[in-house]
Chains A and B, each alone.
Chain A
Amino acid sequence: MIAESLSGRKIAITGSTGFVGTALVERLLRSAPGCELFLIIRGGRRGAASRVKREILSNDAFDRLRDMHASSTASFDAMTARRVHALDGDISVDGLSLNETDRALLASCDIVIHSAAAVSFDSPLDSAVEVNLLGPTRLAALLNELHPSGTNMPHLVAVSTCYVAGNRRGTAPEQLVSEGPFDIGLSWKAEVASARRLRSDVEAASRTPKVLEGFRKGARRELGAAGAPALAAKTEQLRERWVSSELVQAGRSRAASVGWPDAYAFTKALGEQALTETKGALPVNIVRPSIIESAVLEPKPGWIRGFRMAEPVIISYARGLLREFPGVPEGTVDVIPVDLVVAAIVAVAAAGPEKSPYITQVASGSTNPLRYSDLVNNVRDWFTEHPIYDAEGQPIVVPDWRFPGRGRVQQQLSRAKTAITQGERVLQALPLRGAQAAWSAKLDEKRIEVERALEYVELYGLYTECEAIYSIDNLLSLWDQLDQKDQQDFCFDPRVVNWDHYVKEVHLPSVVDHARVKMTPGKTKTDRAVRLRANVLSPDRKVAAFDLENTLIASNVVESYSWLATRHLNNAERARYFLRTMKEAPTLLSMDRKDRSDFLRYFYRRYEDAPVDQIAIDTQQMMTDIIIAKSFPAAIRRVREHRALGHKTILITGALTFNVEGLRPLFDEIVGAEMSIRPDGTYSGQLTKAPPTGETRAQVLADYCASLGVHLDDCVAYADSTSDLPLLEAVGHPVAVNPETRLASIARKRGWLVEDWAKAAGAPKRILPFAPLMNERQR
C-alpha cells in the first residue's frame, strides 16, 4: 500500500547528503518506484546536480539498486535522471535562496521531508540555531508562501530526535516538550536573538589586541619564522577556530543550563516548538529517531554513511586509546538502525497528515532495550576475537571496561593531554631534525587522539548515562495499520532487532571496515613514500627548487665564512678569531631567530675588504672542504635525477652566490645574496640584492616559473624548515628534507613526502669549521 500511495507523488527532501537522507533517497527510489524526488541541496561550487551525482548517487547504498538495474532494460542512470531532480537551496537562509524555477518545482511537491540538520554534537551555538532551530520554520514559511491560498498544501515530515526530551529519567512520551510537564517556558525567539548576538560578541572579543596577540604567539609557536603571510594566515585560522570553539562551549553550557545534553538536542527541541507555532495551515508530522546506527538489512546489512557517534568511540577503544568510557552498566543505549528510521519516515509520509500521529518516536529502549553492559561486552568480545593491529603488526589487546564515572575518565585524559602537550613543547624547543623530529609529529598525533577521546567523553558521556525511556506507542499503532506486504517492505518495528547479532555480525564489521583500521597482522610496508617519490620524479614536473642549508648540505653561511676567514690565519690568529666569534654568537643567534634577512645582511658585512681574486681561489677549495664534504649524496643525486628528467632546477639560498659557485653545474638558476665589488677589486660588504628568505623564496620561484610559463602546481620544492613553508605551500609537490620538528609534524599532517638525507658515512669530520692549517711556505 505504501508504494501505491506514493506512486505519482512528488517528494522534496532536504539533507539528502546526510546519513538518513541518503538512505531515504535510496529506499524511495527502490521501494516506491512511482515517486519523483526533488533534492534540496546546497549547490556550492560544483552545483546541486553534480553534488547529487557525486555525493549521493555514487554512495555504496545504491549498489543494490544498480545491480537490480543491471539486469533490466532501463539503466540506473536513466532512471535517476528521470526521477531525481536537484534544487539548489540552503536551509540556513530565509526562503532557502531558491531560484524561480526551483520554487515552482518545490511548489509542485506533494510531500516535503526535512531531514537536514547540524547533527554534530559540537556545532557552534549559532549555526545549530540557524539550521536546527530555524530550519524547519523557514521551510514551513516558504511552503506557506508558495501556497498562499492554503489549498493543496504539501505534507511536511520533519525529522527531529528523541533527545529533545532532555536529561530526564523515566518515560518520555511522544509529545512536544513545551506541552509536557517539565517545560520551563523557554522562548525560541529569545534564544535565536541571543545566539546571534553571541556570535557578534565573540567575533568582537576575538579581535581585541590582547587576544590577537595570543593568536600571533600561537601561530609563531606552530610555524616558527615562516614569514608574514604564512603567519597571518595561521593567526586568522587560530582566531576563527577560537571563535568557533567559544560558540561550541556557549552552546554546550546553554543547553546544559536548561536541561539538555548538548546544543543539538536543545536546538532541535526549540525547533519543534517553533515549527508547531509557525506552521499555520501546513500539515506537519514529526518523526523522532533516537541514536541512528548502521542498517540492519536495507539497503544492505551494516550500511553506514559517515563516521557517526558511536563509531569513533568504538574505534578509539579498539585501538586501546580509550581505556575507559563512562556510563551506567544497566542503563539503556537507545540505538535504532537507519533502515528502521527510514521506513518509519516513509510510512508517515505515505499515511498522510490525517492518519499519522503528530509526533512519532523511533526508538528501541521501551520494547527491545540494548543494555549498556551488553553492548560493551559484545564490543569487547568481538575485538578480542578480531583485534586491530598496530603499526608494528602486533594485535592490540582491548582493555576491560570498568564503567567509571565521567569525572574520573575526563581527569585521566586531561592529565595525559597535559603531559603530551608539554612533551611536544620540549621537543619543539630542541634542535631536532629528520627521524628524531618525527617523534614530535607522532606525539602531535597522539595528542590529537587524546583530545578527540576527551571530546567524545564530554559529548557522548551524557548519552550513555541517559536513563530516559522513549515511548513508541504512536509508532506501534502506525505499524499495526500496515498490511503484511508493507510490514515486510518497510519494517520499522524495533522489536525485530537481535542486538547480539546486530552488534557482532552487522555493526562492528561495518565500523572497522569504514574506519580502515588494520585488521591483519604483519608490518605494513609503507608504499606511500614510494608513491609520492614517483610523483615527484614524474616527467610531468617542470621545475624543482632546492633550499641549500640542511637540504643539500649540512652546513651554513657561518661555516663558509669561518672557513674562508681562517684560511690564511696562523694558530694564534685562529684562537683570537674563535674567541671573538664565540662572544658574538648569542647576538647572532637571536638575530637569526628574529629575522633571517637582517641577520644575513649584518653577517655579510664581514666580507668587506675581502679581495675578490683571493676569494675566488679560496671558494674553490671550500667547495671541496665544506660543501661537497658536507653534502648529502642522496640530495645531489636527486637534483641530478630532476635534471635527467628534463626538469629545470633552481637553487634558492640565503648564501652569497660566489660561495656556491661550485654548485653551478647542478642548477639552471641560482638565486642567492649578491654583493657589490669596489673598483679596487674588494668586496664592499653591501648586498646589491637582498637574500631570498621566507616568503620571498615563494616569490622567487613564482617569478622563475612565470618566466618559463610553468604553473607552480607542476613544481617540486625541497626545504628543511618552517621558514620555507611559504615556498613549500606554493608548489604542487612539496618535499620536507630532514625536517625540523615543526615542519615534520606539518608534513606528516599534510601528507607531504619526507626525505631523510644524511651526509656520506665516511665524510671527513671537523670540530671547528676552519680551513686546514697551512704551513709558512703555503701561506
Chain B
Amino acid sequence: MPRPGFVLDVDRSTPPILFWRGENYSLEKLPADRSRVIYAPEPEAAIEDIDSAIRHALLNPIEMDPLPTLLFPGMKLTIAFDDISLPLPKMTRPDIRQRVIESVLDLAAEAGVDDVHIIAALALHRRMTEDELRHMLGDRVYDAFAPRGMLYQHDAEDQDNLALLGETPQGEEVEINKRAAESDLLVYVNINLVAMDGGWKSTATGLSSYRSLRHHHNTHTMENSRSFMDQHKSELHKSNWRMGEIMKKHGPKIFQIETTVNNDTFPSAFNFLGKREWEWNARDRAKFVASSAALSRTPARMRRNIFQSIEAPHQMTSIQAGEVEAVHKVTTANVYRQQLVEVQGQTDILTMGIPFICPYNVNSIMNPILVMCTGLGYFFNLYRNKPLVREGGVIIMTHPTTNEFHPVHHPSYIDFFEQVLTETTVPSELEARFEKKFAEDEWYKHLYRTGNAYHGVHPFYMWYWGSHALQHCGKVIIVGGDAPTIRRLGFTPASTFNDALEIASDVVGRSPTITHFHTPPIMIADVK
C-alpha cells in the first residue's frame, strides 16, 4: 500500500531539502519551526495486465456501446492521440498510446474498417520528429500508416483541413480538424498526467486552431481559473466544456479513451530524487553528491542530453473509455487519488525547484519563458481551494535561467524575449499589443507547418499561464540564475537561497512561514 502525500514540519533535526535547479539540484537548509515541505503520495500500484485492462475498457465503455459495435466496414475512423508534451518525462517503450491504439486497430481490422487516419492532436505545439512518433506509437503502427499518409500531425494552420462546428452561446468558435470532424467515429486516446488534461480539452483543444484556442487561452481565462487544475473553479475547463456541447451537437461521435499513470518519475539511477530526504540511505547520499558534483562540471549541452534521455518508469493505473464527460469524471477521481495532498493553510513564501522538463521542452531546452511558465503557470496552479502562498506572498524558484533557446523548436520565443518582454511583462498588456502580430505571422506559421516549431503565439500562452500567479504574488525571486535574463522576465535574481530569503523579507517580514513544494513527482495541494 503506497503511502499518501505528507506535509513535513521542518525542525532542527530535518536534513537539508532537495531543490531542483534545471539539469542539476542542490540541498538547501530550510529555517526550523516555520517551514514545511510537501511531499507527493507514493506511486500507486500499476495495472499488471495492461492489455486485458485495455480490452476490458474498450468492450465495457461507460455510457456508450462497446467499441466493436461502433465499427463497420466502409466507415471513416479517426484515431487522435496526445502529443509528446505528455507524460513527463517520456515513458519507457512501449508507450500506453501505442498499446491502446494497437488494440483499437485490431478491433477495427476485425470489423473490416480500412479508412483509418491516425492524427497527433498537437494543437499549436511543435510537430514531432519521426523518432518521437516511433517512440510513442511503435514501429509497427508507424510503418503501416505513415508511408501511406494515414498517420500525420494535426496542422492548425491548414485552412483547407479545418472545420468550423459552431459557436458557443458566449461566442466561442469551435473549429477542429476536418478529417476528425467528418469521421463516423473519432477515437481519442489520451494520458492524464494532471487534473486539467483530458475530457473535452483533448478534442476541443488538441485538434483545434488559433481561432478556437484564443477564446480560452488568454489572460482573462487564466486569471479566472482558480486554479485550472480544479475543474469546478476553472474558467479554462468551463470554456472547453461549453465547446464540448457544440461538439456533441455538431461534431463527430467521440469514443474517448482516457488513461492515468502513476507518479513513478525516475529510473533507478535517479530514484533518490523521488525519496524523502530523511529516508536517504548511504547509497542515495553518495549518488546525490557524486551526481551533483559531476553535473556541475558537465557542459550545459551534455547535461541536457543526459536528462532529456531519462525515460520514466510510469505505469498505467487506470483506463476508462466511453462518453467524454462520464469517462472524465472517473479519470479525474483517479488523478486526484494519486496526486492530492492535504495542506493546512497558506504560507508567506512558496519555494519550488524548477526541474529540467516541462510539457514544452521535451528533447529541447527549458528557456526562460518556460521557466516562468513551469513555476508560475504549472507549479503555482497545482492547488485546490486556494493557492499555497497567501495573496501578496513571495515565490522563490531555483533554476539557472540562462538566455538559451532552441532555434528550431522555439523561434518565436526568441523574438518574444527580445521584442516583447523588453517592452512589457504585464500579461494583459502584451496580449493586447503583440499577440495578434505573432499569431498571424507568416514566418512562424511556415516554421510551425514545415519545421518543428511551436506556433508563433505559443510563448504568449506560456506567459498567460502565469498570469494568475503574477496577479496573486507580491514578488518572484529566482535563485542561481542569469541575472539580466531574470530581470528581463520581471523577476528578482538572487545568488543563493539565503539571499533570496533576505530579499523576500522586504515583502513578508523577518520571520515568514515557508512552504517547499517538493515536486516532481507531480501532486496537487488541497489547501484547507
Contact = CB atoms under 8 A, between A and B. Distances in A.
A759 B139 contact: no
Interface stretch (A346-354, A429-437, A555-563, A760-768): A760-768
Interface residues of A, number: 25
A637 interface: yes
Most-contacted residue by chain A among B301, B365, B419, B450 (CB, 10 A): B450
A759 B407 contact: yes
B403 interface: yes
B419 A762 contact: no
Given A633-B411, A665-B442, A762 B130 contact: no
B443 A640 contact: yes
B408 A628 contact: yes
B452 A624 contact: yes
A756 to B, nearest CB: 15
Contact of B411 (A623, A628, A778): A628
Given A623-B451, A637-B415, A778-B130, A761 B143 contact: no
Contacts of A762: 365, 367, 404-407
B408 A777 contact: no
A624 B408 contact: yes
Given A624-B452, A762-B365, A631 B446 contact: no
Contact of A629 (B143, B408, B419): B408
B422 to A, nearest CB: 12
Nearest to B363: A764
Nearest to A637: B415
Nearest to A639: B443
A742 to B, nearest CB: 29
B447 interface: yes
B291 interface: no
A421 interface: no
B106 interface: no
Contacts of A369: none
Q: Which of A620, A666, A760, A762 has the most CB of B within 10 A?
A: A762
Contacts of A624: 408, 451-452
Contacts, number: 63
B405 A761 contact: yes
B418 interface: yes
A764 B408 contact: yes
Contacts of A623: 450-451
A662 interface: yes
A777 B147 CA distance: 11
B251 to A, nearest CB: 32
B402 A777 contact: no
A659 B450 CA distance: 14
B59 interface: no
Contacts of B365: 762
Contacts of B507: none
B508 interface: no
Nearest to B130: A778
B450 A620 contact: yes
B503 interface: no
B450 A637 contact: no
B267 to A, nearest CB: 23
Interface string A550-592: 0000000000000000000000000000000000000000000
Interface in A600-636: 620, 623-625, 628-631, 633-634, 636
Question: How big is chain B's contact interface, by range?
Answer: 20 to 34
Contact of B406 (A640, A760, A777): A760
Contacts of A665: 442-443, 446
A324 to B, nearest CB: 45
Interface in B110-158: 130, 139, 143
B414 interface: yes
A777 B407 contact: no
A636 B447 CA distance: 12
A52 B303 CA distance: 71
A633 B443 contact: no
Nearest to A661: B450
A765 B301 contact: yes
Nearest to A662: B450
Interface string A742-770: 00000000000000000111111100000
A145 to B, nearest CB: 73
B300 to A, nearest CB: 8
A628 B450 CA distance: 11
Interface in B428-448: 441-443, 446-447
Nearest to A664: B446
A628 B412 CA distance: 12
Given A665-B442, A761-B402, A633 B451 contact: no
A552 to B, nearest CB: 12
A666 B408 contact: no
A38 B405 CA distance: 70
Contacts of B414: 633, 637, 760
A629 B403 CA distance: 16
B381 to A, nearest CB: 26
A741 B446 CA distance: 36
B139 A777 contact: yes
Contacts of B130: 778
A633 B402 contact: no
Interface string B450-474: 1111000000000000000000000
B455 to A, nearest CB: 15
A761 B304 CA distance: 13
A628 B451 contact: yes
Contact of A633 (B139, B407, B450): B407
Contacts of B447: 628
Interface in B381-433: 402-408, 411, 414-415, 418-419
A6 B353 CA distance: 91
Interface in B159-174: none
A208 to B, nearest CB: 55
15 contacts: A623-B451, A624-B451, A628-B447, A631-B407, A640-B441, A662-B450, A662-B451, A760-B404, A761-B402, A761-B404, A762-B404, A762-B406, A763-B406, A764-B406, A777-B139
Given A628-B453, A633-B411, A761-B404, 4 more contacts: A633-B415, A633-B418, A762-B407, A763-B407
The 6 A-B pairs with the shortest beta carbon distances in the complex, nearest first, are A762-B404, A760-B407, A762-B365, A761-B404, A633-B414, A624-B451
Interface of B: 130, 139, 143, 301, 365, 367, 402-408, 411, 414-415, 418-419, 441-443, 446-447, 450-453
